Amino acid sequence: MNQAIIDRIMVGKPQTFGQKDAKNPMERKWTSGIVKRTVTGKIWAGETNLEGDGQGDMNNHGGLEKAIFVYPISHYAKWQKKLERTDFTIGAFGENLAVQHMAEADLCIGDIFHIGEAVVQVSQPRRPCWRPARRWRMKDLAIKIQQEGWTGWYFRVLKEGEIEAGDYLELLERPFPEWTVAKCNDIMYNQKQDLDLARRLADCELLAPSWRSTLSKRAEGKGSSSSRKRVIGPNE
């Protein structure tokens, strides 16, 4: 595998879209930071987000465990073919970093990378919600993301510093090689009946607390009723 590199950095503040009283749920008023703009030069990677970035829903986005959202450029050609949409390109999911030569099978929970002046750590795969679906007018988009496993992932920031497009991601540590991001997605979405796997992954101390909690409840036989609310939400 070639060394992973940042192709593009994108940030954006929350914006409000749609119309309050629209009959079509997909056209109703909503607020999100999913629309990002490409920035050039050095940008500060802070503890909770990139300089100039923001989230419309701080309960489910941003913060220490979701400071930087990363997405592989290689997925977009596959999405364009699957969705038959040539407009589905870099930035479609509201990612902060568009990266080359890295995907979900290539990195693991707890991996520590040096990027520019910053040091970051893989905290969790992204759990898709209804907002990308609203942006692209595809109600089942989050379900498709889960099915394909093309989720992207989040970094927590261990050492703040400046980063820029063209910086390489240098792997410093890999404490949990058994828990790739792809494997985590498979356990979360495709192996729901394997309670032992859920229990083992929940024990991974460097996995984000929200994921550990969900998996722990599953291992205890406590199902979650929030899935449809997350993936479909107010889009129906």
81 CB contacts (<8 Å, ≥6 apart)? none
Domains of the chain in sequence order: 5-235 (2.40.33.20)
CA dihedral (224, 225, 228, 230) in degrees, to 10, reads -60
Instruction: Please give the angle made by the CA atoms of 151, 105 and 219, to the nearest 5 degrees.
Output: 70
- Residues 117-154 have pLDDT tens digits of 999 999 999 999 999 999 999 999 999 999 999 999 99
Residue 225 has pLDDT above 60, yes or no: no
pLDDT (average), residues 13-29: 93
List the structure tokens of 218.
């599953």
pTM of the model: 0.95
- How far apart (Å, rounded) are the C-alpha atoms in residues 62 and 79? 25
- How far apart (Å, rounded) are the C-alpha atoms in residues 28 and 21? 6
Distinct helix (H) and strand (E) counts, the chain: 7, 12
- Residue 62 confidence class, pLDDT cut points 50, 70, 90: confident
- Residues 159-179 have pLDDT tens digits of 999 999 999 999 999 999 999
Q: What average pLDDT does the chain have?
A: 94
Q: What is the pLDDT of residue 60?
A: 64
- Residues 77-112 have pLDDT tens digits of 999 999 999 999 999 999 999 999 999 999 999 999
